[in-house]
Structure 1
């Protein structure tokens, strides 16, 4: 018998202005990043207004933001959400260069992934962030 958590559907918001980047993220994470977590339902956003509206509406378990998005990258969006949204969902930022991972500290992201995305690393990172969020182990950042 599966646990109640594993039966739950998790909503993951994926933001990039480029559809191929959104597809790469969803393919790397997959519909079931870990056996102890529920299936993932992806909500895609191609613009910042969509991201903010989805975060404001609630119901997002995790946001994965493209740090290279144009005209405003996911790092700036992450920082804005962390400072303006009460009960902000955990955020993972993707970057193109491993050397840019330090910027995730500024963006207040909970984790970072580097392109090209490795499916094993992406799924493990998503599962880890979701588990830590549920356990209350992520820092509570409020605007």
Structure 2
């Protein structure tokens, strides 16, 4: 098993980034490695972090302004080679179709529900790490 997994968290709201960190904890599930977080508040920071590599999963806030997580997800899926899987934070369940449009692998609604977020993140990490990337 990999010694740790890197999770990028994108939101312009420091409180939302903190909610994600607290909900995922040090290890979102017993069968995935401990996680280290890279926090980004702007789109340029997200792109720089992804271009540097080493990110195993992304959690993107769909409510971030001016560049919302759904649009950012679609952009990185087009622009980043072997883009890590994305967990999208949606403002409302009715936005699920936008999560599909953005090509996110998973989506949960805000406010963050710890068990739901941890399970979704762990699933993405299992898939990514088992593929040998």
Bin the TM-score by the shorter chain: over 0.9
Tell me how far apart the structure 1 counterparts of residues 86 and 61 of structure 2 sit (CA, whole Å): 11
State the SS of the aligned residue for 1:99.
helix
Residue matched to 1:127: 122
Calculate the TM-score normalised by the size of structure 1. 0.88
Instruction: Determine if contact 2:56/2:129 at 8 Å carries over to the other structure.
Output: no
Q: Which residue of 2 aligns with 1:140?
A: none
The reply on whether 1:78 has 2:73 as its aligned counterpart is yes
What's the counterpart of residue 35 of structure 2?
A: 40
Choose 1 or 2 for highest CA Rg.
1
Counterparts of 1:53-64 in structure 2 under 5 Å?
A: 53-64=48-59
1:90 aligns with 2:85: yes
**1:104 is aligned to 2:99:** yes
Secondary structure of 1:87's match? coil
Unpaired segments of 5 or more residues in structure 1? 137-143
CA-to-aligned-CA distance 1:69-119 (integer Å, 9 cap, x gap): 000100000000000111111111101101111211110111001112111
RMSD: 1.0
**Which runs of 4 or more aligned residues in structure 1 lie more than 6 Å from their structure 2 counterparts after TM superposition?**
none
Q: Does 1:24 align with 2:19?
A: yes
1:130 CA displacement: 1.1
Secondary structure of the 1:31 match is coil
Q: Indicate yes or no: 2:122 matched with 1:116.
A: no
Q: How many angstroms does 1:135 deviate by?
A: 3.3
Task: Return 5+ residue gaps in structure 2 as ranges.
Answer: none
Report how far residue 25 of structure 1 moved: 1.2
